[in-house]
Amino acid sequence: MSATSERAAERVNQEASSQWPLWEVFVRPRRGLSHSHVGSLHAPDAEIALRNARDVYTRRQEGVSIWVMPAAAITASSPDEKDAFFDPAADKVYRHPTFYDVPEGAKYL
């Protein structure tokens, strides 16, 4: 699909709602670190979302790289599932690498 017809398709999708779709923004503060979620914003399409993210979230040199993704594309765990999802990990201390002797001279462990 050409960029023009993609835009046309997005416009059709938006006609149902008067508000621009929501996008989640991820910023990498500097090389070597991973992108972190910093917030969200509204934009009519991905290119504008990226530019809005630049203006809203990197005005004070917060980053060197930005990702945006449609909020609708995220599948999130539900608060109702919290117990089933996370509690079983609470009593499994053997999953932590704490039963090894740290060799002498090994730093930063």
Partner 1 sequence: MTTDLFEYVLRIGDDALIAAQRLAEWSTRAPEMEEDIALSNIALDQLGVARAMLTYAGELEGAGRGEDDLAFLREDREFRNCLLVELPNGDFAVTMARLLFLSAYQGSLYDGLVGSADGRLAGVAAKARKESAYHVDHAAQWTVRLGDGTAESHKRMQAAVDDLWPYTHELFGSDAIVSGVAEAGVGVDPASLREGWTEAVSSVLDEATLTRPADGWAPGGGRDGLHTEHLSYLLSEMQVLHRAHPGASW
Residues that bind partner 1 (CB under 8 A): 4, 7, 11, 20, 41-45, 47-48, 51-52, 55-56, 59
C-alpha pair distances (Å), 34 with each of 46, 47, 57, 96: 21, 21, 16, 23
CB of 35 to partner 1, least distance (A): 20
Q: Which is nearer to partner 1, 59 or 95 (CB)?
A: 59
* DSSP designation for 88: G
State how far the Cα of 12 lies from the Cα of 23, in Å rounded to an integer.
18
Nearer to partner 1, 35 or 54 (CB): 54
Least Cβ distance, residue 4 to partner 1 (angstroms): 6
Residues in the chain: 109
